[in-house]
Protein backbone atom coordinates (compact mmCIF):
# COMPACT_ATOMS: atom_id res chain seq x y z
CA UNK A 1 0.00 0.00 0.00
CA UNK A 2 1.29 3.40 -0.82
CA UNK A 3 -0.16 6.85 -0.87
CA UNK A 4 1.14 9.74 -2.92
CA UNK A 5 0.99 12.11 0.05
CA UNK A 6 3.48 11.65 2.87
CA UNK A 7 2.51 13.47 6.03
CA UNK A 8 4.08 13.59 9.46
CA UNK A 9 1.79 11.64 11.79
CA UNK A 10 2.36 11.82 15.53
CA UNK A 11 0.67 9.48 17.97
CA UNK A 12 0.51 10.90 21.47
CA UNK A 13 0.04 8.20 24.10
CA UNK A 14 -0.90 9.59 27.50
CA UNK A 15 -2.83 6.68 29.00
CA UNK A 16 -1.69 3.59 30.90
CA UNK A 17 -2.26 0.15 29.32
CA UNK A 18 -5.04 -2.35 30.29
CA UNK A 19 -7.16 0.09 32.34
CA UNK A 20 -8.61 1.24 29.02
CA UNK A 21 -8.23 0.01 25.44
CA UNK A 22 -6.61 3.14 24.00
CA UNK A 23 -2.97 1.96 24.21
CA UNK A 24 -3.73 -1.19 22.25
CA UNK A 25 -5.77 0.64 19.63
CA UNK A 26 -3.02 3.22 19.21
CA UNK A 27 -0.61 0.46 18.23
CA UNK A 28 -3.06 -0.76 15.59
CA UNK A 29 -3.30 2.66 13.97
CA UNK A 30 0.45 3.15 14.16
CA UNK A 31 1.06 -0.07 12.19
CA UNK A 32 -1.54 0.81 9.54
CA UNK A 33 -0.15 4.33 9.20
CA UNK A 34 3.34 2.94 8.62
CA UNK A 35 1.87 0.54 6.03
CA UNK A 36 0.59 3.63 4.18
CA UNK A 37 4.22 4.85 4.02
CA UNK A 38 3.61 7.85 6.24
CA UNK A 39 6.20 9.47 8.51
CA UNK A 40 5.31 8.07 11.94
CA UNK A 41 6.36 9.29 15.40
CA UNK A 42 5.20 7.92 18.75
CA UNK A 43 5.17 9.97 21.91
CA UNK A 44 4.76 8.52 25.38
CA UNK A 45 4.02 11.00 28.12
CA UNK A 46 2.17 11.16 31.45
CA UNK A 47 0.72 7.69 32.23
CA UNK A 48 1.47 6.67 28.64
CA UNK A 49 5.06 5.89 29.67
CA UNK A 50 3.68 2.88 31.58
CA UNK A 51 2.90 1.28 28.21
CA UNK A 52 6.62 0.69 27.74
CA UNK A 53 7.32 -0.80 31.20
CA UNK A 54 9.30 -4.04 31.10
CA UNK A 55 7.95 -7.22 32.65
CA UNK A 56 4.21 -6.94 31.90
CA UNK A 57 2.43 -10.20 32.86
CA UNK A 58 -1.24 -10.22 31.89
CA UNK A 59 -2.19 -13.86 32.47
CA UNK A 60 -3.98 -13.03 35.71
CA UNK A 61 -6.29 -10.48 34.06
CA UNK A 62 -6.96 -12.75 31.05
CA UNK A 63 -6.00 -10.02 28.62
CA UNK A 64 -3.49 -10.18 25.79
CA UNK A 65 -0.07 -8.80 26.70
CA UNK A 66 0.59 -6.50 23.77
CA UNK A 67 3.82 -5.00 25.12
CA UNK A 68 6.08 -7.24 22.93
CA UNK A 69 4.59 -5.40 19.95
CA UNK A 70 6.57 -2.27 20.86
CA UNK A 71 9.75 -4.23 20.26
CA UNK A 72 8.46 -5.32 16.85
CA UNK A 73 7.88 -1.73 15.64
CA UNK A 74 11.44 -1.47 14.35
CA UNK A 75 10.65 -4.24 11.86
CA UNK A 76 8.01 -1.96 10.34
CA UNK A 77 10.49 0.92 10.08
CA UNK A 78 8.86 2.70 13.01
CA UNK A 79 11.85 4.03 14.85
CA UNK A 80 10.83 7.42 16.17
CA UNK A 81 9.81 6.71 19.74
CA UNK A 82 9.93 9.66 22.12
CA UNK A 83 9.46 9.59 25.87
CA UNK A 84 8.93 12.59 28.11
CA UNK A 85 11.72 12.82 30.66
CA UNK A 86 9.64 14.42 33.39
CA UNK A 87 6.87 11.80 33.06
CA UNK A 88 9.42 9.05 33.74
CA UNK A 89 10.94 10.90 36.70
CA UNK A 90 7.68 11.59 38.54
CA UNK A 91 6.74 7.90 38.19
CA UNK A 92 10.02 6.64 39.63
CA UNK A 93 11.04 5.17 36.27
CA UNK A 94 14.26 5.40 34.26
CA UNK A 95 15.11 4.42 30.70
CA UNK A 96 16.28 1.03 32.04
CA UNK A 97 12.69 0.21 32.98
CA UNK A 98 11.56 0.50 29.35
CA UNK A 99 11.34 -2.44 26.98
CA UNK A 100 12.52 -0.57 23.87
CA UNK A 101 15.12 2.01 22.95
CA UNK A 102 13.63 5.47 22.96
CA UNK A 103 14.73 9.07 22.74
CA UNK A 104 14.11 10.81 26.06
CA UNK A 105 13.10 14.44 25.54
CA UNK A 106 12.47 17.45 27.73
CA UNK A 107 9.01 19.03 27.70
CA UNK A 108 10.29 21.87 25.52
CA UNK A 109 11.84 19.48 22.99
CA UNK A 110 8.58 17.53 22.89
CA UNK A 111 6.57 20.69 22.32
CA UNK A 112 8.83 21.71 19.44
CA UNK A 113 8.47 18.26 17.88
CA UNK A 114 4.67 18.46 18.12
CA UNK A 115 4.71 21.74 16.21
CA UNK A 116 6.44 20.04 13.26
CA UNK A 117 3.61 17.55 12.69
CA UNK A 118 0.88 17.49 10.07
CA UNK A 119 -1.50 15.15 11.89
CA UNK A 120 -1.61 14.52 15.64
CA UNK A 121 -3.70 11.65 17.00
CA UNK A 122 -4.12 11.25 20.74
CA UNK A 123 -4.79 8.06 22.63
Partner 1 sequence: MKFGIVVNEGPYQHQASDSAYLFAKAAIEKGHEVWRVFFYHDGVHNASKLTEPPQDDRHIVNRWTKLAEEHKVDLVVCVAAALRRGIKEENLAQGFRISGLGQLVEAGTKCDRLVTFGD
Partner 2 sequence: MLHIINKSPLTGTTLDSCLNTAAGGDILLIEDAVYAATSGNVFEEKLRAAMGRFRISVLRPDLEARGLADKIVDGVSQVDYAGFVDLAANNKTCQSWL
* Residues between 32 and 61 that touch partner 1 (CB under 8 A): 32-33, 35-36, 38
Rule CB under 8 A: choose which of 1, 5, 61, 108 binds partner 2: 108
Range list of β-strands (E), 1-123: 8-13, 39-44, 80-84, 103-105, 119-122
Burial letters 93-114, b for 16+ CB under 10 A, else e:
beeeebebebebbeeeebeebe
Nearer to partner 1, 98 or 123 (CB): 123
Residues 48 and 15 sit within 8 Å (Cβ to Cβ): yes
Distance CA 119, CA 97 (A): 29
User: From the list partner 2, partner 1, none, which binds 14 (C-beta under 5 to 8 Å, kind-based)?
Assistant: partner 2
In 3-state terms, what secondary structure has residue 118?
coil
User: From the list partner 2, partner 1, none, which binds 69 (C-beta under 5 to 8 Å, kind-based)?
Assistant: none
* Residues between 94 and 123 that touch partner 1 (CB under 8 A): 118-119, 121-122
Shortest distance in whole angstroms from residue 120 CB to partner 2: 4
Binding site for partner 2 (CB under 8 A): 12, 14-15, 22, 45-46, 84, 86, 107-108, 110-112, 114-115, 117-120, 122-123
Amino acid sequence: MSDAVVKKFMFVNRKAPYGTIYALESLEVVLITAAFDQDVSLVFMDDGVYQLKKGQQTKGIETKNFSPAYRALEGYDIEKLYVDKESLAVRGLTEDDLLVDVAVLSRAEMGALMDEQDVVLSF
